[in-house]
Amino acid sequence: MTRVIEDGFSDFGLAILPRQAAGNESYLSKIEDCLAPHFEQLSLVSIGSLKNGTGIVKYSKRDLLLKSPALSDVTDLEVAVRRLPEMLETVFTGVTSRDSAVSVPVDVAAGKYVVIYPAAYADRSKEGHEVYKILDRNNGSRSTSPDAHDSYLSSLDLRLDGRVRPLIRFIKAWKYYRRVPISSFYLDAHVMRYSASMNVTAYSSAMLDILSSVMHSGLVCVEDPSGVVEDIYATTGPEVNLEEVFEKLALARSRAERACEAERDSDIDRAFHWWDVLFDGEFPSYYKLADFVRSNC
């Protein structure tokens, strides 16, 4: 049977989808029990890539937004980030706080953890989506509206026949497999901006276009496509080596170019090879696509 590159991306997309085992989220009720005595009308809301369908198996973490009337300004958020570890340490070991959130190990053996972002209600967007303030190491605080982000992503994905979420997963898979210190949210924004103006007819050419776009952007801040969040930063802090990011972007773009050239020359085996190199050996084989899917399920 003749294979084409879209077959490879299709099977790759299935293999990198997170698989949620039944009953493995009992930790959520434990977190709520720890925090409820300290926050009136506590609400923990799932956000991020696992919520909006752009997560990567073994890499994406569970993100939670902590909402409460007790959190009304930046000072409240700073206090919450400092105090959350002591509230949770009676049940969870190794809880740590960082600039804007708290990391909670929920399965140490599996390396699984959740990240909690204390949030202060700020406003509603013109579309009616709730907007919150969370801490941010670049600006002190920033606006966030997971509902607005997810709604905009869903509208794009619907318009393009469900091809936007997989495209985001592919670019994130490159980030994780090649250990590129670039913000997932930043890559989301680039993919959504691209998808808003282009038809995603082939994943191979779209991947090349997006890698080129990110590289030529100079890694400057980008506007949130949903129009709610302030500028989105490419990296999460000043300690990130931007030269390393540019080098990895240039290398990935070169490999994507070679893959697309091979595909245009009908050398599909070679095209599969270059996508496999780009994804650090995780892309399916031209000859063993079915075996690849079975081995990753």
For residue range 215-270, list pLDDT tens digits in order.
999 999 888 888 887 788 888 666 788 889 999 999 999 999 999 999 999 999 99
| pLDDT at res. 109 | 62
Give the pLDDT confidence of 80-103 residue by residue, as tens digits: 999 999 999 989 999 999 878 999
What would the two tokens of residue 202 be? 């082939």
**pTM for the whole thing?**
0.90
Average pLDDT over residues 54-76: 93
Give the pLDDT confidence of 3-58 residue by residue, as tens digits: 799 999 999 999 999 876 444 568 889 999 999 999 999 999 999 998 999 999 98
Please, are residues 85 and 75 in contact by the beta-carbon 8 Å criterion? Answer: no
The three-point CA angle 56-14-208 to 5° equals 70
Angle in degrees, 0-180, between the axes of helices 184-197 and 164-177, rounded to the nearest 10:
150
Please, are residues 6 and 13 in contact by the beta-carbon 8 Å criterion? Answer: no
Identify any residues that bridge with 275 across adjacent strands, giving them in sequence order.
Answer: none
What would the two tokens of residue 195 be? 């998808």
Cα atoms found within 13 Å of the Cα of residue 155, Cβ hemisphere only: 9
